Structure 1
Amino acid sequence: MQRRQLLRTASLLPLAPLARPALAQDRRASTLRFVPQANLAVLDPILTTAGVTLNHGYAVFDTLYGVDQKFQPTPQMAEGHEVSEDGLRWTIRLREGLFFHDGAPVRAVDAAASLARWAKRDTFGQTLGAAVEAWESPNDRDIVIRLKRKFPRLLSALSFVGPIPAFIMPERLAKTDPYKPIAEMIGSGPYRFVAEEFVSGAHVSYARFDRYRPRAEPAVLNGGGKQAHFERLEWKIIPDSSTAANALQTGEVDWWEYADADLAPLLERDRRVRVQSYDPLGFMGFLRFNSLVPPFNNVALKRVVLQAVIQGDYMALITGGDAKAWSNAYSMFPPGLPFVRDAGSGTMSGVKDMARLRQAVKEAGYKGEKVVILSPTDLASVAPFGEVTAELLRKLGMNVDLQVMDWGSVVQRRTSREPVEKGGWNIFHTTWKSSSIANPALNTNIRGQGAAGWFGWFDSPAIERLTREWLEAATDAEQQRLFDAIQREAFEQVPVIPLGQYQQKTALRADLTGVLPGPAAFPWNIRRS
């Protein structure tokens, strides 16, 4: 009630006077002020799947290919490409006149080195990388990708929006160990990172890159003409939702990326503010297990937790109790997308017999090990999940240690492979934009890449084999068969537990136009009317 009352009070404040100092008016007209979903703790966009770093990456870096509204590849930094008759040699030509923020021209050797580094970290990139014989640059404009075997979806891998896009950076940075952060934020995107103004936990600044050459086509998602209409982009890190909402209403900021569901109704009544869907395809929530350390290196125990979860307990808390804003999702892929079928309702739906499930925990071999849950305080779309899971596991008779911290600390802590006694973890929660987990190659959640894979280090040779087969499938029927087989295996091995599908709201000043709905907060195409 305190947060709601604060907003009611703010909404009654008089509008700012029309007469302002010219300097302040000019600064407001030339600056887009943005409140990201969380603190920017990791700057290198190749090191993490965190959405806040993805947004940062799109401001600074560019990609060879983007996607259109149907998520089909379209040239971006590339002028075009050619494929040899045997399908084993792809030649991608760079557009002319591309420059990095330090003034150096973009060369094919930069792109080749960038792709090689990216292919060691991104899930789809790792799959492509396993088929690559060499990343080559015979001249300054041509990138040659020589393959060991055909890879028909090569452009799909290079063009997808995230979670880790194939960003291009200078060769000297791209040669950095893919498990260590790059030393500088030098890209060729529409904005350049202003390093001297960066204050972690408070402020991030970007300045328009005047030598950026946008394409002539209209902007669509991460493709087309990325027109930067503002001279500056400033991020304000505001962990408290009430403070962020109030700042938006009073005009201190222009755009709040993840509008709190509890506050959205109040914002919708303010004519100075517009609330809209962040991404029409929606989001999914997930519980992620650490499959490397006890007790969830025991698949039988993970299956019991899967049976115990009630998705509505999670979804109600992040949608403000709006039953129309979420739905059950008994699948490892977003319901409603091609080939996605309900594969888990038989396990997850129905009445929960807690006495039987507690007994099942014992029969699974649980020995009272501590279960460490990492839970963020400053990411409203995830923050409530930790409490729900902690309460559920306590009901199942488990020894729970709920550790609360900011999202940046979760992002850093989840990289630890140590046992919980040495700073490790057992569970964290996250959300994924539907487009980021839309197919087997992209779905980081359930890829079984073990030590080379995503945090939690789930290992499944069966899922990896089925994914390779899916990549080579020639018919819809074969793709459907493999989609179904992958889901069955994922529900059997339980790398994650789906928590439901929902719509995330974003809120912005009513005078902003051109914001592109989609799986990232793209900083281009936006104007102030």
Structure 2
Amino acid sequence: MALSVVTINAAIAAALTAATSLIALPAEAQQPERPLRLVLNVGLQTLDPVAGPTFVTRNFSYMVFDTLVAVDSQGRYRPQMLENWRTSDDGLIWTFTLRDGLEFSDGAPVTAEDCVASLRRWGARDSLGRRLMAATKEMRAVDTRTFVLELSRPFGLILEALGKPSVQVPFIMPARLAANTPPTTPVAEVVGSGPFLFLRDQWIPGERAVFARNPRYRPRDEPADGLAGGKVPKMERVEFINMSDPGLRTAAIQRGEVDYLEYAPIDYIPVIQGDRNLVLSRARGGAEIVGGISINYHQPPFDNVLVRRAVQQIMERNEIIAAEGVPAELSRPDCRSLYACGTFYASETGTEPMRNTDIERARELLRQAGYKGERVVVMQPSDSPLINPIGLVMIDRLKQAGFNLDVQTSDWSSLAQRWIQRRPVDQGGWSLLPIIYTGFDLANPLSNPSIGYNCTDNQPWGYCVPEMTRVIERFEAEGDAERRREIAGELQRISMDQAIFPLAGQFASPAVWRAELRGVVDFGFPVLWNIERSGR
């Protein structure tokens, strides 16, 4: 339950001394050029945006890499590394031209060959990327700045694929790395063409990552807008910090010892709202959080749709959101859309299985499925303030329904490594994992984890529904946005019927930053270019 404001204030007061002692700030912290400090939701472990399908790796990657296409605050796809693109009359041939003068952090020029290699590696891993590659006849460099993507069949989401904003993002890296590293193996070097440099020698995995302004970066001329426009790095140094305790986070930002929290601790939002020195993000829709359960389809008993539907029936969204302590104005317990309410494809089509969840119905489904008490391994991330409450409610209701649970609690980084592996439960495997996505990750059917990975055999989303395959093919080929919206409804119906991704509810967990920061791009996840301190 949410804490009272009095209790919260007392907790913050108790944390102030701890905040001062735990955040070992160097002497430069009192100087105008002190680093911009961002507190992440969880610690950074993986440095590769293709091999590491997590928010924290995405945040890291936007610092050091760049994209060909970027989405602005209005949802429009605009050139970023590209100067322009053109298409053939039949829409099957796309020609892309890079901006002149782009360089990687090692001094090498960015070339069309780098783009082709990076897209191929991303396309072997990401759900939307796989769909694009399957529709591609050929992708080739024409000269140093130009490459061609030729389709074998119509594919109506080229720009949406190249400008995909969240996990997994098609960032560009040198061909020498992209072409020679399997997509599930992290690259050996961090070499990008983004606005900041990663200082690897100062990295403490899971605790701290340090960045410096990239002097080789060439921002676009237009103003920053969402992820598009001029990414001007105005701070000389940026630090990512992991601080698991919510009270400590709040105390630290109130004291000015950190500048930006990826997520405002939900129980402390009333205090943050009353502090004139802090600014709470207003980004909604795609920026909101959607919770759910990742199901391992490779492990019995979840290869049985009735057992999956039993899990779907225990998901009482009002109870889960209450456990999060989300203020009423920041929650959407009535949202049932797989695509996240407030985004383009959101609808009520096919959402009947989520309308009247009931534990007794879950018990009946388990009886019909012939469930014999097989062990179900639930991985519970204890260090995530957002995921932990979802898991606690889910675990309690799964037990009430009759599941035989083996709850294994650990930090998110450790569980994330197990999540992408395929092992039997008696050899370190898993069955269920509470998880969160942003609306950005769910908004397009081809990037939505409950649809886009259909029949791709990509762990952790190992489901395969032949009916869904046929509808996805229609969606991919459709060029009209309104017609695609109708087809998206059909896909949602199939996914809900198969109980692929039971939803835990939608809510806002906004970012918060110090009011002295100017130029903050309020997008829905940390965008750290364009920021400077007032008075500089």
TM-score (norm 1): 0.93
Aligned counterparts of 2:484 and 2:434: Cα–Cα separation in 1: 29
Aligned counterparts of 1:376 and 1:156: Cα–Cα separation in 2: 31
Q: Which residue is equivalent to 2:366? A: 361
Within 5 A, what are the aligned runs for 1:299-378?
299-320=305-326, 322=328, 324-343=330-349, 345-350=351-356, 352=358, 354-378=359-383
Cα 1:94/1:425, change in 2 over 3 Å: same
Amino acid at match of 2:303: N
Q: Select between 79-88 and 137-146 the one with higher mean Cα deviation.
A: 79-88
Conservation of the 8 A alpha-carbon contact between 1:11 and 1:270: no
Within 5 A, what are the aligned runs for 1:56-135?
56-135=60-139
Amino acid at match of 1:213: R
1:441, CA displacement in angstroms? 1.5
Within 5 A, what are the aligned runs for 1:184-203?
184-203=189-208
Cα 1:83/1:392, change in 2 over 3 Å: same
1:59, CA displacement in angstroms? 0.2
Aligned counterparts of 1:192 and 1:286: Cα–Cα separation in 2: 35
Within 5 A, what are the aligned runs for 1:485-496?
485-496=490-501
Amino acid at match of 2:188: A
Conservation of the 8 A alpha-carbon contact between 1:7 and 1:266: no
Aligned counterparts of 2:147 and 2:325: Cα–Cα separation in 1: 46
Q: Which residue is equivalent to 1:499? A: 504
Aligned counterparts of 1:278 and 1:474: Cα–Cα separation in 2: 29
1:23, CA displacement in angstroms? 4.7
Q: Which residue is equivalent to 2:423? A: 418
Say which SS state the counterpart of residue 505 (structure 1) adopts.
coil
**1:190-232: CA deviation from partner (whole Å, max 9, x where unpaired):** 0011110010121100110011010011111211000111001
Conservation of the 8 A alpha-carbon contact between 1:51 and 1:163: yes
Q: Which residue is equivalent to 1:295? A: 301
**1:394-448: CA deviation from partner (whole Å, max 9, x where unpaired):** 1111111111111111211101211111111111122221122112122123334
1:477, CA displacement in angstroms? 5.5
Aligned counterparts of 2:270 and 2:55: Cα–Cα separation in 1: 25
Q: Select between 343-352 and 201-210 the one with higher mean Cα deviation.
A: 343-352
Cα 1:379/1:156, change in 2 over 3 Å: same
Note the residue ranges of structure 1 that are not aligned, 5 or more in a row. Answer: 16-20
1:344, CA displacement in angstroms? 5.2
Amino acid at match of 2:293: L
Aligned counterparts of 2:362 and 2:473: Cα–Cα separation in 1: 36
Q: Which residue is equivalent to 1:511? A: 516
Q: Which residue is equivalent to 1:284? A: 290
Conservation of the 8 A alpha-carbon contact between 1:192 and 1:206: yes
Conservation of the 8 A alpha-carbon contact between 1:280 and 1:518: no
Q: Select between 340-349 and 482-491 the one with higher mean Cα deviation.
A: 340-349
Say which SS state the counterpart of residue 496 (structure 1) adopts.
coil
Amino acid at match of 2:310: V
Q: Which residue is equivalent to 1:473? A: 478
Aligned counterparts of 1:470 and 1:395: Cα–Cα separation in 2: 39
Aligned counterparts of 1:171 and 1:355: Cα–Cα separation in 2: 55
Cα 1:195/1:476, change in 2 over 3 Å: closer
Say which SS state the counterpart of residue 518 (structure 1) adopts.
coil
Cα 1:488/1:23, change in 2 over 3 Å: closer
2:409 to 396, 404, 408: 404
Amino acid at match of 1:151: F
Cα 1:87/1:480, change in 2 over 3 Å: closer
Aligned counterparts of 2:155 and 2:477: Cα–Cα separation in 1: 8
Conservation of the 8 A alpha-carbon contact between 2:335 and 2:505: yes
Say which SS state the counterpart of residue 70 (structure 1) adopts.
coil
1:46 aligns with 2:61: no
Cα 1:395/1:92, change in 2 over 3 Å: same
Amino acid at match of 2:82: A
Q: Which residue is equivalent to 1:225? A: 230
Aligned counterparts of 1:340 and 1:226: Cα–Cα separation in 2: 30
Say which SS state the counterpart of residue 433 (structure 2) adopts.
strand
Conservation of the 8 A alpha-carbon contact between 2:13 and 2:251: no
Cα 1:278/1:49, change in 2 over 3 Å: farther
Say which SS state the counterpart of residue 511 (structure 2) adopts.
strand
Conservation of the 8 A alpha-carbon contact between 1:416 and 1:423: no
RMSD between aligned alpha carbons? 2.3
1:137 to 135, 141, 156: 141
Q: Which residue is equivalent to 2:243? A: 238
Q: Which residue is equivalent to 1:18? A: none
1:22, CA displacement in angstroms? 9.0
Amino acid at match of 2:471: L
Q: Percent identity?
A: 35
Aligned counterparts of 1:251 and 1:356: Cα–Cα separation in 2: 50
2:391 to 380, 386, 394: 386
TM-score (norm 2): 0.92
1:268 aligns with 2:261: no
1:124, CA displacement in angstroms? 0.9
Cα 1:374/1:479, change in 2 over 3 Å: same
Q: Which residue is equivalent to 2:23? A: none
1:177 aligns with 2:182: yes
Amino acid at match of 1:437: L
1:33 aligns with 2:44: no
**1:148-196: CA deviation from partner (whole Å, max 9, x where unpaired):** 1232321221012122111000111111111211001110000011110
